Amino acid sequence: MQYILSMNPNIDLIGDPTRRCMLALLAVEGEVCVCEFVAALEELQPSVSRHLGLLRDGGWITSRRQGTWIHYRLARLPKWAQTLLGALVSGGVAPDVLRDARRRLTAFCGRRQRTLGRAA
């Protein structure tokens, strides 16, 4: 039990369906900002920001600022966490939920073109 509590990234954080969907989106999209998550997940901004803060503090994601925009991407993760992300994308997040979130993300009028590649 002590090993699980000290895992980095913190595995307990993926117990929440919203955070699982966020991680799956980052795994397939590479980088997403707060306003894009709000559109993709149809969640309120304070809720999205709280989930992102937990994922960042838990070691799953990193952020970078570009002007007023804060962009999130996956952190460098150990192999077990990468395998888990693959499982989320492959069905751990319901395919229709992930598909609909990606559709809303693509349709979001504020979506900016990314100049950086996917996180490793």
The pLDDT of residue 112 is 61
Q: What is the pLDDT of residues 60-74, one digit of tens each?
A: 999 999 898 899 999
- Asked if the model's pLDDT at residue 106 lies above 70, the reply is yes
- What confidence category does residue 111 fall into, taking pLDDT thresholds of 50, 70 and 90? low
- What confidence category does residue 116 fall into, taking pLDDT thresholds of 50, 70 and 90? very low
Tell whether pTM > 0.95: no
DSSP states of 51-120 as a string? HHHHHHHTTSEEEEEETTEEEEEEPP--HHHHHHHHHIIIIIS-HHHHHHHHHHHHH-TTPPPP-S----
On whether the CB atoms of residues 29 and 119 are closer than 8 A, the answer is no
Q: Please state the φ and ψ torsions of residue 114, each to the nearest 5 degrees.
A: -95, 140
The pLDDT of residue 95 is 94
Strands 69-74 and 61-66: antiparallel
- Asked if the model's pLDDT at residue 113 lies above 80, the reply is no
On whether the CB atoms of residues 37 and 52 are closer than 8 A, the answer is yes
- Asked if the model's pLDDT at residue 6 lies above 80, the reply is no
Cis peptide before 95 (omega within 30 of 0): no
Q: What is the pLDDT of residues 83-97, one digit of tens each?
A: 999 999 999 999 999
